[in-house]
Amino acid sequence: MTTFTAADVPDLTGRTAIVTGANSGVGLATTRALAAAGAHVVLAVRDVGKGRAAAEHLPGTTEVRALDLADLASVRDFAAHWEGPVDLLVNNAAAPPPSELRHTADGFELQFGTGHLGHFALTTLLLEHLTGRVVTVASQAERFARLDLAGLDALEAMNRGPRPGDPATATPYRSSRVYGQVKLANLLFTAELQRRLTAAGSDVRAHAAHPGYVDTAIYRENGPVSRVMVRLLAQSPEQGALPVLFAAVADLPGNSFTGPRHLAHMRGSAEPIPRSAAAQDAELARRLWTMSERLTGVAWPAGSARTGSPA
């Protein structure tokens, strides 16, 4: 049992961290805690203006760089202009669940293209710079998702979106279903990334983190029932950042999944938590990785992960 708090983050002076979606919510809280511990934190954000406004109120040393995970050209540009080691990469950004089917600049379903494919490409392209850890923000929503081996090609077609002449889909778009698929993909990505890092002899560790039920604009703006639930049960972004920070600095084996301790892992401090059987399916993880390489055009190894001490 752990009582981990932000005060338990060790001195990170001299370390460099990248946090995607760092200008609000759990991303901002994570950034604040890392910067307060002495890390140089790069806010990798789609809206540079919002990123700079957030950075003005942060301690320590930070910088803001443009990164639109819904545009693979932006991901490639970010990675191409990166110099120096990355001690910690926090894959936090996510697209707000849309009410109808929307697409990224490359034609993928918005949530999957941003939350999985964008982070997949970013991590793989930064491999040669990584020296410590990769923490990908997932969710227990993965427990309700299905990503069948036989359905990966169908998923790819769905993520491309409809094309002229395509027959009408029999399954209507449901953003909540896709959200669960994205979070399952996050865990499968983490598992396969760790397998590949270990096979390559790298000391870099890959972890996933579940923030719990957090008071964010996404939930507050999702109708009156959701607003009441947030008021009664949700925790602050600072509390939601604890599992992310725990995954970033605690002594954990690779491919750990961390989340809150209480209320069915929805509130409280951080600890390792279980994941679904689907999230532990090694063959599914390999298939998803292969599909992700094909969709993004980014293949392993885009760079060679360094050997060094975990962050």
Q: How does DSSP assign 129-163, residue by residue?
A: GEEEEEEEE--GGGGG----GGGHHHHHHHHH---
Range of the domain at 285: 11-212+241-296
Amino acid, res. 129: H
Is 179 an annotated catalytic residue?
A: yes
> Is residue 137 a contact partner of residue 270, using CB atoms and an 8 Å limit?
no
Q: Is residue 167 part of a domain?
A: yes
Q: Has residue 85 been placed in a domain?
A: yes
The whole-angstrom separation of Cα 115 and Cα 110 is 8
* AA letter at 156: E
- Looking up residue 134, the CATH number of its domain turns out to be 3.40.50.720
Dihedral sign (CA 109, 110, 116, 119): positive
Distance, in Å, from the CA atom of 208 to the CA atom of 272, rounded to the nearest integer, reads 10
Both tokens of residue 20?
């995607």
- Residue 309 in any domain: the answer is no
| Residue 193 near residue 120 (C-beta atoms within 8 A) | no
* pLDDT at position 145: 81
- Closest alpha carbon to 292 in 18, 72, 44: 72
**Residue in 81, 160, 94, 71 with CA at minimum distance from that of residue 126:** 81
Block residue for tokens 């540079």: 48
**How many structural domains are present in the chain?**
1
Separation between Cα atoms, residue 293 and residue 295, nearest integer Å: 6
Q: How many CA atoms lie within 13 A of 202 on its CB side?
A: 24
Q: Does residue 6 lie in a domain region?
A: no
Strand 86-91 with 16-20, pairing: parallel
Tokens at residue 87, please?
């001690």
Spell out, as residue ranges, where the chain has pLDDT lower than 70.
1-2, 148-171, 215-234, 262-267, 302-311
Q: Is residue 223 part of a domain?
A: no
Residue 140, in any domain of the structure:
yes
For residue 307, being part of any structural domain is answered with: no
CA-closest candidate to residue 281, choices 175, 102, 147: 147
Q: Which of 173, 179, 213, 219 is catalytic?
A: 179
Classify residue 117: in a domain, yes or no.
yes
Cis omega before residue 237 (within 30°)? no
- CA–CA distance from 302 to each of 79, 96, 182, 249, 290 (Å)? 11, 29, 23, 26, 14
Residue 62's contacts (CB-CB under 8 Å, 6 or more residues apart) are: 31, 35, 40, 41, 42, 43, 55
Q: What is the pLDDT of residue 165?
A: 47
Write the single-letter amino acid at 271. Answer: E
pLDDT of residue 170: 54
pLDDT value at residue 267: 66
Cβ atoms < 10 Å from Cβ of 52:
15
